[in-house]
Amino acid sequence: MIRMNFKECEAIVLKGMKYNESSKILSLFTHDFGKVSFLAKGVRNVKSNQCGVFEDMNLIRIFFNNKTNRSLQVINKSENISTFRNIKTDLEKLEFAYRILEIMNNLTFDFDTSSKLFLLLKSVLYLLNSELYEGHNVYLYFQLNFAELSGVGLKSHPSVNHFSDKINETFSGKMVFNTYEKIFDKELVDILGEKQENIENYKFKKNESEKIINSLDNYLHHHIDSNYFFKSKHIFQKINRYW
């Protein structure tokens, strides 16, 4: 007799691609299993009651028969928890959401069961979906906390506590921050020191945070995967150019 190993967990859709005529292969970040690839059969059929559940960034609950010898798990049932509608109707927030999803999909390892990473992803999507916080501050909050949870946090680099007028500031010999302008002001130093986990401390104006955000994108790129390329960032730049 075959023993069925049914599992249930929350998941966030990082990316989906068409498979055959009506199915999808999905990259999901789950609470219990980390990043896992799934097959959702028949969900692109307009008559399917699962149609629309697997849109990018949706928070869903999935049910599946977990087979440890299978790299592509098959979803038996799913349901929406949140579609983050406010994000999807705001172009700026949508850009930051896709940049977050792209980082989670490309700069995390399969089956890394860090529930803290899942909770970070879930929390930043809810923060973006609310009207309380600016998108650039939520993204900065995500970048710094993602780096910390991934083991490359700026807290561990003593150079963030020393500022000068030099053209370049180097972190661990891998990443170079250009400091033609002063990147780290007092507020960011305070955040890195002891207030990083509290979104309420992120109150940068958009023009202040842009250079920091771009530098941190490069920092993550070079510290975790030097072959990675931020596609969504450049796609939205083109969209904004013609908007």
Res 79 pLDDT > 90 = yes
pLDDT reported for residue 166: 33
Position with higher pLDDT, 84 vs 176: 84
CA distance 140 to 96: 10
pLDDT reported for residue 163: 36
pLDDT reported for residue 169: 43
- Both tokens of 243, joined, read 């908007």
What Cα–Cα distance (Å) separates residue 114 from each residue in 10, 85, 99, 104, 221? 13, 27, 20, 12, 20
Looking up tokens 């406010």 gives 86
Q: Please state which of the ranges 39-43, 103-107, 175-179 shows the lowest mean pLDDT.
A: 175-179
Report pTM.
0.83
Per domain, the residue ranges of the chain are: 6-83, 86-242
The CATH-assigned architecture of domain 86-242 is Up-down Bundle (1.20)
CA distance 129 to 93: 8
- The H-or-E segment that residue 37 falls in is strand 34-40
Instruction: Please report which confidence band the pLDDT of residue 127 belongs to, taking 50, 70 and 90 as the band edges.
Output: very high
Res 238 pLDDT > 90 = no
What percent of the chain shows pLDDT beyond 70?
A: 80
CA distance 136 to 154: 19
pLDDT reported for residue 131: 92
Looking up tokens 């207030």 gives 195
Pairing of strands 72-82, 34-40: parallel
Dump strand ranges (E) for 151-213.
168-171, 175-178
pLDDT reported for residue 172: 42
Res 242 pLDDT > 70 = no
Res 243 pLDDT > 90 = no
Looking up tokens 């490309």 gives 106
CATH class of 6-83: mainly beta
pLDDT digits (tens, 9 = 90+) for 85-98: 999 999 999 999 99
- Both tokens of 115, joined, read 């529930």
Cβ neighbours for 12, distance < 8 A, ≥ 6 positions apart: 28, 29, 30, 57, 58, 59, 60, 101, 104, 118, 121, 122, 125
Instruction: Please report which confidence band the pLDDT of residue 72 belongs to, taking 50, 70 and 90 as the band edges.
Output: confident
CB of 64 within 8 A of CB of 6? Answer: yes
